[in-house]
Structure 1
Amino acid sequence: MTAFVLVSDTFTGGWVWEETAALLRAAGAEAYPVTLTGMGDRRAEAGPGTGLETHIEELVGLVDGITAAEVVLVGHGYGLYPVFGAADRRAGRVARIVSVDTGPPGPGETAVRSVPDPEVRELLAGRPDAPVPPPAPGTWSRWGSVEGVPAEALVRLESEAAPQPAGTLTEPLRLTGAAAALPTTGVLCAANGQSIAMVEMAVASGPPQFRVFTEERFRFFELATGHWPMLSVPAELAEVLLSAAAGEGHRATPPEGDGHEQPSHLLPFLLDVPERPRERVGRVDLHLPDAEGPRPAIVFVHGGPIAVDQRPTPRDTPFFLGYGRYAASMGAVGVTVDHRLHGLADYARAADDLAEAVELVRADPRVDGERIALWFFSTGGPLAADWLAAPPPWLRCVAATYPALAPLPGWESVEPRFRPVDTVGTADGPPVVLTRAGLEHPVFTATVEAFLTAAKERGAHVEVVDAPHGHHAFELVDPTDESRAVVARSMRAVLARLGD
Structure 2
Amino acid sequence: MATFVLVPGACHGGWCYEQIAGQLRDHGHRVITVTLTGLSERRHLLTSTVNLDTHIQDLTAVLVAEQVQDAILVGHSYGGMVITGAADRMPERVDSLVFVDAFVPRDGESCWMLTNDMQREWYLSAGEDGYSVPALPMFDPRATAHPLASFLQRIRLSGDLGRFRRRDYVYAKVWDGESPFAPTYERLRRDPQWTVHAVDSRHNIMRDAPEELLKILLDTV
CA RMSD of aligned residues (A): 2.5
- C-alpha deviations, 1:43-85, integer Å up to 9, x for none? 1111232111110011011122344552111111111111100
**Residues 473-492 of structure 1 mapped to structure 2, 5 A cutoff:** none
Q: How far off its partner does 1:180 sit?
A: 4.4
The one of 172, 176, 189 aligned to 1:189:
172
The one of 206, 209, 213 aligned to 1:233:
209
- C-alpha deviations, 1:118-161, integer Å up to 9, x for none? 4234447xx995211112x3xx3xxxxxxxxxxxxx6xx0x211
Please give the secondary structure, in 1, of the residue aligned with 2:97.
strand
Distance change (3 Å), C-alpha of 1:128 and 1:98: farther
Distance (whole Å) between structure 1 residues aligned to residue 120 and residue 82 of structure 2:
22
Please give the secondary structure, in 2, of the residue aligned with 1:222.
strand
**Residues 157-196 of structure 1 mapped to structure 2, 5 A cutoff:** 157=140, 159-177=141-159, 179-182=161-164, 183-192=166-175
Distance change (3 Å), C-alpha of 1:70 and 1:230: same
Distance change (3 Å), C-alpha of 1:122 and 1:49: closer
Q: How far off its partner does 1:2 sit?
A: 1.1
Match of 2:58 in 1: 58
Distance (whole Å) between structure 2 residues aligned to residue 178 and residue 219 of structure 1:
16
Distance (whole Å) between structure 2 residues aligned to residue 39 and residue 99 of structure 1:
20
Distance (whole Å) between structure 2 residues aligned to residue 121 and residue 10 of structure 1:
11
Distance (whole Å) between structure 2 residues aligned to residue 103 and residue 8 of structure 1:
12
In structure 2, give the amino acid aligned to 1:184.
R
Please give the secondary structure, in 1, of the residue aligned with 2:44.
helix
List runs of 5+ in structure 1 lacking aligned partners: 141-153, 203-209, 247-500
Please give the secondary structure, in 1, of the residue aligned with 2:74.
strand
Distance change (3 Å), C-alpha of 1:48 and 1:130: closer
Q: How far off its partner does 1:178 sit?
A: 5.2
Distance change (3 Å), C-alpha of 1:117 and 1:238: same
1:78 matches 2:57: no
- C-alpha deviations, 1:246-293, integer Å up to 9, x for none? 3xxxxxxxxxxxxxxxxxxxxxxxxxxxxxxxxxxxxxxxxxxxxxxx
Distance (whole Å) between structure 2 residues aligned to residue 54 and residue 12 of structure 1:
16
**Residues 99-498 of structure 1 mapped to structure 2, 5 A cutoff:** 99-113=99-113, 114=115, 116-123=118-125, 129-135=130-136, 137=137, 140=138, 157=140, 159-177=141-159, 179-182=161-164, 183-192=166-175, 202=186, 210=187, 213-243=189-219, 245-246=220-221
Structure number, greater radius of gyration:
1
Q: How far off its partner does 1:102 sit?
A: 2.2
TM-score w.r.t. length of structure 1? 0.39
Match of 2:95 in 1: 95
Match of 2:43 in 1: 43
Q: How far off its partner does 1:221 sit?
A: 2.0
Distance (whole Å) between structure 2 residues aligned to residue 56 and residue 90 of structure 1:
10
Match of 2:15 in 1: 15
Distance (whole Å) between structure 2 residues aligned to residue 45 and residue 28 of structure 1:
34
Please give the secondary structure, in 1, of the residue aligned with 2:163.
coil
The answer (yes or no) to whether the contact 1:21–1:238 under 8 Å persists in 2 is: no
In structure 2, give the amino acid aligned to 1:5.
V
Please give the secondary structure, in 2, of the residue aligned with 1:5.
strand
Distance change (3 Å), C-alpha of 1:109 and 1:68: closer
List runs of 5+ in structure 2 lacking aligned partners: none
Please give the secondary structure, in 1, of the residue aligned with 2:6.
strand
The answer (yes or no) to whether the contact 1:129–1:167 under 8 Å persists in 2 is: no
Distance (whole Å) between structure 2 residues aligned to residue 131 and residue 122 of structure 1:
9
Distance (whole Å) between structure 2 residues aligned to residue 111 and residue 240 of structure 1:
25
Q: How far off its partner does 1:32 sit?
A: 1.2
Q: How far off its partner does 1:216 sit?
A: 3.8
Distance (whole Å) between structure 1 residues aligned to residue 135 and residue 62 of structure 2:
26
TM-score w.r.t. length of structure 2? 0.85
Distance change (3 Å), C-alpha of 1:216 and 1:93: farther
Distance (whole Å) between structure 1 residues aligned to residue 22 and residue 142 of structure 2:
20
The answer (yes or no) to whether the contact 2:85–2:156 under 8 Å persists in 1 is: yes
Distance (whole Å) between structure 2 residues aligned to residue 218 and residue 128 of structure 1:
40
Please give the secondary structure, in 2, of the residue aligned with 1:64.
helix
Distance change (3 Å), C-alpha of 1:235 and 1:129: same
Distance (whole Å) between structure 1 residues aligned to residue 170 and residue 84 of structure 2:
16
Please give the secondary structure, in 2, of the residue aligned with 1:184.
strand
Distance change (3 Å), C-alpha of 1:179 and 1:92: farther
